[in-house]
Chain A
Amino acid sequence: MGLVTWARTRSPWLIHFNAGACNACDIEVVAVLTPTYDVERFGALLKGTPRHADVMVVTGSVPRKNAPRLKRIYDQMPEPKFVVAIGSCAISGGVFQDCYNVMEGVDKIIPVNAYVVGCPPKPEAILDGVVKLLKSAGY
């Protein structure tokens, strides 16, 4: 494993993007940072800018107005990049399927590497999703 890959998988920097979510998944993502669940022990940090991020954590059912922004943020991330879709809405639109403004799934806009199920998923599940992604990337 090269030095850069080693550094990347030992310390993945996350960016969290809310693509029209109701906030339930988002507060559980933030909870993952707090002492009880503590994602920092995996070296993961939450950053505010896509240009420093390796992993994008996406929540939400992607309303139309939000879709181009999601794509733009994804495009701004440097390669290699990974996307984790958190929650039923990000996977398939969740309870908002058959709503006129909803794109029904993040993978309709950008490629997704890992799906974490739940409405919202518990912080333990989100941690599990991120760790599994890192394992599959060679951690």
Chain B
Amino acid sequence: MVKVSDREFSIPIGPQHPALKEPASFLFKVDGEVVVDVEPRVGYNHRGIEKAMEARTYIQNLYITERVCGICSNAHQTNYAQTVEDVAGITVPPRAKYIRTFISELERIHSHLLWVGVAAHEIGFDTLFYYVWRDREVVMDLLEMISGNRVNYAMNTIGGVRRDLSKENFPKYHKMLDILAERTKFYAGIATNEKTILGRAAGVGYLSKADMKRLCGVGPNARASGVDYDVRRDNPHLAYDEVPFNVVTNEGGDVLANVLVRIGETVESVGMCKYVLDHLPEGPIREKFSPMAKVQEGEAIGYFEAQRGELVHYIQSRGDVKPYRYKIRAPTLANIPSLAEKLKGGYIADIPIVLAGIDPCFSCTDRMVFVDEDKEKTWEMDGEQLRRYGIEWYK
């Protein structure tokens, strides 16, 4: 272990990072092995979507919102649809609300399982990664059966949903959901008992409830620090005021708490999906909305609990076929200040797992450059090496 010195190193990490597959960059100031300060740099994924939405009609914008993020694509599209419906004064039929809830919860399951696998990979537990992703194929098959696609399901339209669920398939869906429930409970057992996981995740990346609230963190990341905020309960949308569920929180505040919250939420989601299938109301699946319809002047804000947390869409309409201003705030941006706080005071070896712990939605394949400011020597470590560094360090 390197002796703590009073030289400060600056380490830029990114925009490639192994933890999740999106680009971002961080500048770390380190003192020996300990991280002293963190400066996040984002923008590698900035495509200019908000401006593009001002130049497209409401129906066209359904397709661009879906591709803001591939893992929470349905969350963005559903929140877009409900925000536009709010400003346009459209009431969505109950059957559509239930179907939207069903798809949203399925997407939550796929995203959390994806994350458990990737987090396992980060700490070197590849066996668990392969197991979980194999089981995740069950929910991918389910989504493909319903919508025709594994990713980007295009289920929403303004006024409701585009495809119905047919009752003949319900027994098959129930069976698949039961498999998922059983497998998830198995992983919950592993998470609480496996020494490999406990060693790398317990006590790592801790942030107190007070700090999390001060920095306005959201989602499972905030709930893992004991902040009791879930948009499904606190600002109910879709059918969440009728479908019973528990909000999962954990006082731990560390990466292990993050794991337990997400696995707990997956179990809840499976239960909610089964409830929706058993209580799906009859009726139409959409209100008519013409492709070139003008939406009345006004403003509206849409709150949605996406997989990573509170998702906010805001619209200002001027009575045209295109929105005047559309704003999207994805949950990970809200979690970056608290992420920076978590990394401070921790070890370099913890960086990948803490980063993965918040389930970031900016993909990072990383490169790590060490700068020794005194000697003006630079050397590089890539993502694989950073990961292995972390694993070796903890042996």
Residues of A with Cβ closer than 8 Å to B? 16-31, 34-36, 47-51, 61, 63, 65-66, 69, 73, 94-96, 98-102, 119-120, 122
Say yes or no: A27 contacts B365, CB within 8 Å. Answer: no
B23 on interface, CB distance cutoff 8 Å? yes
Give the residue of B51, B64, B134 whose beta carbon is less than 8 angstroms from that of A95: B64
B387 on interface, CB distance cutoff 8 Å? yes
B152 on interface, CB distance cutoff 8 Å? yes
If over half of A's interface residues share one DSSP class (helix, strand or loop), that class is named, otherwise mixed; here it is: mixed
B170 on interface, CB distance cutoff 8 Å? no
Interchain CA distance A102-B9 in the complex, whole Å? 34
Give the residue of B49, B118, B363 whose beta carbon is less than 8 angstroms from that of A96: B49
Say yes or no: B46 contacts A18, CB within 8 Å. Answer: no
Say yes or no: A28 contacts B150, CB within 8 Å. Answer: yes
Q: A48-B387, A95-B63 are in contact. Are A119 and B49 (CB under 8 A)?
A: no
Give the residue of B49, B70, B71, B130 whose beta carbon is less than 8 angstroms from that of A34: B130
B68 on interface, CB distance cutoff 8 Å? yes
Residue of A nearest to B50 (CB): A99
CB pairs A–B below 8 angstroms (28 shown): A16-B21, A17-B365, A18-B21, A18-B365, A19-B23, A20-B47, A22-B67, A24-B70, A27-B151, A28-B150, A30-B133, A34-B134, A35-B133, A48-B18, A48-B383, A49-B385, A63-B43, A66-B23, A66-B44, A73-B16, A95-B63, A95-B64, A96-B64, A98-B52, A100-B48, A101-B46, A102-B47, A120-B152
Interchain CA distance A51-B49 in the complex, whole Å? 34
Give the residue of B15, B21, B22 whose beta carbon is less than 8 angstroms from that of A69: B15
Q: Which B residues are CB-close (under 8 A) to A18?
A: 16, 21-23, 363, 365
Q: A18-B365, A24-B151, A122-B150 are in contact. Are A69 and B44 (CB under 8 A)?
A: yes
B176 on interface, CB distance cutoff 8 Å? no
Say yes or no: B365 contacts A22, CB within 8 Å. Answer: no
Say yes or no: A20 contacts B44, CB within 8 Å. Answer: yes
Say yes or no: B134 contacts A36, CB within 8 Å. Answer: yes
Residue of A nearest to B132 (CB): A34
Interchain CA distance A25-B73 in the complex, whole Å? 12
CB of A113 to closest CB in B, whole Å: 20
CB of A92 to closest CB in B, whole Å: 14
Say yes or no: A27 contacts B21, CB within 8 Å. Answer: yes
Say yes or no: B152 contacts A63, CB within 8 Å. Answer: no
Q: Which B residues are CB-close (under 8 A) to A63?
A: 43-48
Interchain CA distance A98-B16 in the complex, whole Å? 26
